[in-house]
A = this chain, B = another copy of it.
Amino acid sequence: MSDPHQHKRERRKQDRPGELLEAALDLFVEKGFAATRAEEVAVRAGVSKGTLFLYFPSKEELFKAVVMENVARPVAQGITEAENFTGSSGELLTWMMLEWWRRYGATKASGISKLMMSEAGNFPELAQFFRSNVIQPAQSLVRMVLQRGIDRGDFRAIDVDNTIYSVMAPLIFLVMEKHSTGACSGPQPSINPEQFITHHADLLVRGMAPGH
């Protein structure tokens, strides 16, 4: 790190875990845990099968590392942006849901969430970690926005705890859809995610409107 004269080879060595994690992320998201072969990960990372097991003692540990590495990242950003928002709470809610989809749901990274839900049963520690570091912060963010709406008089005094799920459920649903049945391109009319989010947010905002 502090020596600028280190060999290129050595620099590569330090990057190995990162390259492996990246390759593993791609493949786990694309094919699931069981269907991803260890050798495939190694090949995509440009190393041999043996090397993979040099850095990660087993496929399970590799999976855990992938989730740990990718799961915490995109949480905090949304919070500060929401705090600086200066419009109606309905607009904020709609904007937030759409942005979440654009920045996260629509990207490869959302595959991690799908992965977590799919494999939670087999990796309870991960599930716990995911809950603490992703789900609960996200819930806090939504709670903040709903409370802002109530405080500003944009919303009725709705049941905040349950409404949080009314906000999050469709987003989770879209992610699952995108990464599971939605993947099977068939002739069925697929959802248009942004349109659906807009529609759902509108329904919620109307449903939370004060004055009834």
Which of the residues B32, B166, B170 comes within 8 Å of A121, measured between beta carbons?
B32
Quick check: A32 and B207 within 8 Å, CB to CB?
A: no
Q: Number of contact residues on A: which range applies?
A: 35 or more
With A165-B173, A169-B173, A195-B162 in contact, is A120–B202 under 8 Å at CB? no
Quick check: A117 and B203 within 8 Å, CB to CB?
A: no
Q: How far is the CA of A4 from the CA of B121 in the complex (A)?
A: 45
Q: How far is the CA of A188 from the CA of B186 in the complex (A)?
A: 39
Q: Which residues of A contact B (CB under 8 A)?
A: 30-32, 34-35, 114, 116-122, 124, 127-128, 130-131, 135-136, 158-159, 161-163, 165-166, 168-170, 172-174, 176, 179-181, 183-184, 186, 188-189, 191, 195-196, 199-200, 202-209, 212
